Chain A
Amino acid sequence: EVQLVESGGGLVQPGASLKLSCVASGFTFSDYWMSWVRQTPGKTMEWIGDIKYDGSYTNYAPSLKNRFTISRDNAKSTLYLQMSNVRSEDTATYYCTSTTVALFDYWGQGVMVTVSS
């Protein structure tokens, strides 16, 4: 059974940094592209970016690429999202997703990030 478990969320002040993690199990993590997607409190969904199975290529939403960085550690079956200089509009639930057969075919339970002073 595929499982994606995110962690690292919480309350963070504007301008701070935060790193989210996603531990994968139930499939060969190193064989597949992975992505981060976020959902605002108003339920709007936004793609953040993807990372190739070997970590050699990343692709980001243009509005986020200067502040967000996606990486992975295949030895630990873990995906990361480094967020810097966070803003109130980054308040959202962040989901880790896989692309095994299809785009975003499995999702984690999500982790909430609240940006507030």
Chain B
Amino acid sequence: DVVLTQTPPTSSATIGQSVSISCRSSQSLLDSDGNTYLYWYLQRPSQSPQLLIYLVSKLGSGVPNRFSGSGSGTDFTLKISGVEAEDLGVYYCVQGTHDPRTFGGGTKLELK
């Protein structure tokens, strides 16, 4: 199975600060069809996860543009440009290129 390693496990930020979360894959996520099936989700406290980013860098419906995704191959980054209070929670990366689909271990974003 593809292992996704997220760093850091916990990130502390002040409101307005920019933060980055890394997701490193044990295998390339570039599919034979040319797409890279790497996704980012946010799970706020006591809520279900919600889609933020799909196909590495495409913004999900209704997602603020302070969120951005980048990367290729095995290294990916989620950046939040100017953290807001509603951004606190756990961030997960997911890969859909290889079966079985796998999740990263999560990065908890908390207030400093």
Residues of A near any B CB (own CB < 8 A): 43-47, 59-62, 95, 101-110
CA distance A107 to B47 in the complex (A): 10
Select from chain A the residue with minimum beta-carbon distance to B53. Answer: A102
How many residues of B sit at the interface, in one of the four size bands?
20 to 34
CA distance A107 to B37 in the complex (A): 18
Contacts of B105 in A (CB 8 A): 44
Contacts of B51 in A (CB 8 A): 102, 104-106
CA distance A44 to B3 in the complex (A): 13
Contacts of B26 in A (CB 8 A): none
Q: Which of B48, B92, B105 has the most CB of A within 10 A?
A: B48
B41 touches A104 (CB 8 A): yes
Please judge, given known A-B contacts A103-B37, A105-B51, whether A47 and B103 are in contact too, CB under 8 Å: yes
Apart from A43-B90, A104-B49, list 5 A-B contacts with CB within 8 A. A47-B103, A102-B55, A105-B51, A105-B61, A107-B48
